């Protein structure tokens, strides 16, 4: 079953009357439970593509479908519940809420769904990434790696169908990176999550079913690593 589909997707930004194309005519399909890595040099369009596929930004042209629903022209009021129920996000541009503790940050998406198990679920996830001693600390008291692990727990608490992540191990040391990769593998096996990650991390790419390479805003390679 196709869960994410891009149809002739393009994105152009306008800066000081200049048109700057970032993505051009990208078409791809991602299957339910597939683990897909987007790779490419900085500026190749990886982050922009993730934003378009997750409905955080709108394309200049083309369509985005989630489980056969065309979300391209959906209003924010329609997208918000879809995101909270179906998507998980770990994006560099999505910081933790500074006024909330680690535990409260992770609980937040579940509380928006009025999940009475929000706290035990959050505590269990934080323990799995070694942050059980940081529950009542605030984001400014955390290292960059700890913030990233907290953000991953927040993204996973609602057991999303699709996890979008932009360089999820970018701020992590090797031990923390290994912990996070282990959690992703376990959550995929346990919950059947579809993973779509932009990364330069070779270890993540080696775990993926498929690696899509972007170059100058277009797909230059699309390789299935595992049968």
pLDDT for 94 equals: 63
| SS3 readout for the chain | CEEEEEEEEEEEEEECCEEEEEEEEEEEEEECCCEEEEECCCCCCHHHHHHHHCCCCCCCEEEEEECCEECCCCCHHHHHHHHHHHEEEECCCCCCCCCCCHHHHHHHHHHHCCCCCHHHHHHHHHHHCCCHHHCCCCHHHCCHHHHHHHHHHHHHCCCCCEEEEECCCCCCCHHHHHHHHHHHHHHHHHHCCEEEEECCCHHHHHHCCEEEEEECCEEEEEEECCC
Q: What is the pLDDT along the chain (227 residues), one digit of tens a residue?
A: 999 999 999 999 988 888 889 999 999 999 999 999 999 988 899 999 999 999 999 999 999 999 999 999 999 999 988 888 899 998 776 679 999 999 999 999 999 999 999 999 999 999 999 999 999 999 999 988 888 889 999 999 999 999 999 988 877 788 888 888 888 888 888 889 999 999 888 888 888 999 999 999 999 999 987 65
pLDDT for 93 equals: 61
* Fold entry, domain 2-224: Rossmann fold (3.40.50)
Residue % of the chain over a pLDDT of 90 = 66
- Cα-Cα-Cα-Cα torsion 195, 198, 92, 173, nearest 10 degrees, comes to 90
pTM over 0.75: yes
Instruction: Tokens for 17, please give them.
Output: 């009357």
Q: Residue 91: which region, alpha, beta or left (left: phi > 0; alpha: psi -120 to 50)?
A: beta
* Number of Cβ atoms within 10 Å of the Cβ of 60: 16
pLDDT for 204 equals: 84
pLDDT tens-digit series, residues 165-203: 998 887 778 888 888 888 888 888 888 999 999 988 888
* Domain segments of the chain as ranges: 2-224
pLDDT for 217 equals: 93
């Amino acid at each position: 079953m196709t869960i994410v589909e891009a149809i002739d997707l393009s994105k152009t930004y306008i800066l000081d009357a200049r048109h700057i194309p970032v993505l051009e005519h990208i078409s791809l399909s991602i299957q339910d439970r597939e683990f897909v890595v987007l790779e490419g040099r900085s500026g190749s369009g990886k982050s922009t593509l993730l934003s378009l596929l997750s409905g955080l930004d709108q394309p200049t042209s083309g369509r985005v479908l989630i489980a056969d629903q065309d979300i391209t022209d959906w209003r924010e009021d329609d997208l918000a519940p879809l995101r909270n129920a179906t998507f998980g996000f770990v994006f560099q541009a999505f910081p933790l809420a500074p006024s909330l503790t680690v535990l409260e940050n992770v609980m937040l998406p579940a509380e928006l769904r009025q999940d009475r198990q929000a706290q035990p679920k959050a505590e269990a996830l934080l323990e799995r990434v070694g942050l059980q001693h940081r529950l009542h600390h605030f984001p400014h008291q955390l290292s960059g790696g700890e913030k990233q692990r907290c953000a991953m727990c927040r993204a996973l608490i609602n057991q999303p169908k699709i996890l979008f992540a932009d360089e999820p191990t970018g701020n992590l040391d090797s031990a923390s990176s290994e912990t996070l990769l282990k959690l992703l593998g376990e959550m995929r096996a346990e919950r059947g999550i579809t993973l779509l990650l932009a990364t330069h991390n070779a270890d993540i790419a080696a775990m993926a079913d498929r690696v899509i390479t972007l170059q100058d805003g277009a797909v230059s390679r699309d390789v299935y690593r595992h049968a």
